Amino acid sequence: MPTDDITQKVSERYADAVRTGEEMCCPTSYDMGHLKTFIPEEVLKISYGCGTPAGLKTVRAGETILDIGSGGGIDCFEASRLVGPTGSVIGIDMTDTMLEIARKNASVVAANLGYSTSNVEFRKGLADAMPVDDGTIDLIISNCVINLAPDKRAVFREMYRVAKPGGRFTVSDIVSDQTVPQYLVHDTQKWGDCLSGALTLTDYMNGMTAAGFLGIHLVKFSPWRMIDGIHFFSVTLTGYKLPPAPTVSSVQYATLRGPFSRLVNERGTTYQRGIPQSISPEEARLLSLPPFAEHFLLTTQPVQLDDHDPRWSAVLPANAPCTWQGHYALLAGPFVETADDDHHVYRRGEPLEICSKTAAVLETNGYQSHFVILNRAGERANGAAVTCSPAGGCC
């Protein structure tokens, strides 16, 4: 299906949803009681998406926020409240019906917030060609919209272009655990349902890395639908456009604490647990960010760790038989490859079948925030307990 046709069909579908009241994508979890205090009902009833933008929790007063696919403006108006009258918000949408509603209500929201004038601007445009100047945005948000763009890598490049050095994104979207087949790709109805345009988690995260973002990691996920054996699920991801690193840094070495026994970061650098590694000032800045910081010891001198050191972290599987229950684990960054203490190798976004003992390991602190766990069993699995390896360890 030609790209222009997809864009036109999706725009028409969302315009129709405004008129008919159809619910699009999957349910969100907005605090409507809070939003009703300053956002008109006309906006709230056409709020579509796959998750309340978690990035809004990180907003600081005075920042500039960009919402890709702003629709009726719900997320822009909440961002407006958070940045305060000294900040600014830009919403981009391709559907005239949505833009009309959002623009009409901007002044109402500003008055409800006690602002002398609105700090929100709504612009017509496409996600892969955004009408936004280079390097002007502190935070990019998007709620189940990038999924609808035919060329998602172009969207990721545009996001990187408009982000300030030191800027960040937090986006919610629908991804899949396997490549969507062509019979779904060419189904117009399912494009509007956020199915046909879904990338695999691997392709989604790798596309953002290719655009230049680093530290891309999972904030939350939620299973959504399964169609013809394909699992579609909502993810919220965050990543960073790093500012230039200082030429000199007090941090000279990084030691992986665990619980991973080994990991490879987005630049291809491999870290082995307990072994100090010389790092550049730019790498030191990256490893100090939240998704990395808990896993690393950053020092001025090399520090080696062993399993007697309290800073060493490891999670071993239970010394007992396990069961196979249909669970699959997908690594969701900010690493492209990791290994645990039972020789499993996880590659970003690639489903790996795991037994009950490994599932329990991945549910512990240190692991849990980095994995999506799906169950592919068509009905409850009733397999007998087994010993995965001759030595009694895990699979």
Share of the chain residues as helix, strand and coil, in percent rounded to the nearest 5: 30, 30, 45
Residue 113 has, within 13 A of its CA and on its CB side, a CA count of 26
| pLDDT above 70 for 7 | no
* DSSP-based three-state secondary structure for 324: coil
Cα(202)–Cα(235) distance, integer angstroms: 12
- Give whole-number Cα distances, 152 to 127, 204, 295, 304, in Å: 9, 8, 31, 42
Burial bucket for residue 312 (CB in 10 Å: 0-12, 13-18, 19+)? middle
Give the C-alpha separation, 292 to 284, whole Å. Answer: 10
Tell me the DSSP string of 224-235.
EEEETTEEEEEE
In a 10 Å sphere around its CB, with 0-12 CB exposed, 13-18 middle and 19+ buried, how is residue 191 labelled?
buried
Contacts of 238 (CB under 8 A, 6+ apart): 54, 55, 168, 169, 170, 215, 216, 217, 219, 291
Structure tokens at 309: 């050191």
pLDDT greater at residue 333 or residue 384: 333
Share the mean pLDDT of the chain. 88
- The span from the CA of 84 to the CA of 104, in Å, is 20
Q: Cis ω on the peptide bond leading into residue 85 (within 30° of 0)?
A: no
Residue showing tokens 């965050």: 238
Report pLDDT for 15.
Answer: 42
Q: What is the pLDDT averaged over residues 8-31?
A: 52
152-162 and 201-211 helices, crossing angle to 10°: 40
Give CA–CA dist 378/60, Å, rounded: 45
CB atoms within 10 A of CB 119: 24
What three-state secondary structure class fits 13?
helix
Q: How far apart are CA 321 and CA 28, in angstroms?
A: 40
**59-107: per-residue pLDDT in tens?**
999 999 999 999 999 999 999 999 999 999 999 999 999 999 999 999 9
- Report which DSSP code applies to 293: H
pLDDT band at 21, cuts 50/70/90? very low
Cis peptide before 302 (omega within 30 of 0): no
pLDDT digits (tens, 9 = 90+) for 168-204: 999 999 999 999 888 888 777 665 567 778 999 999 9
The pTM of this model reads 0.89
| The Cα angle at residue 344 between residues 260 and 220, in degrees rounded to 5 | 60
Counting residues of the chain whose pLDDT is more than 70, the rounded percentage is 86
Closest to 25 (Cα-Cα) out of 89, 69, 66:
69
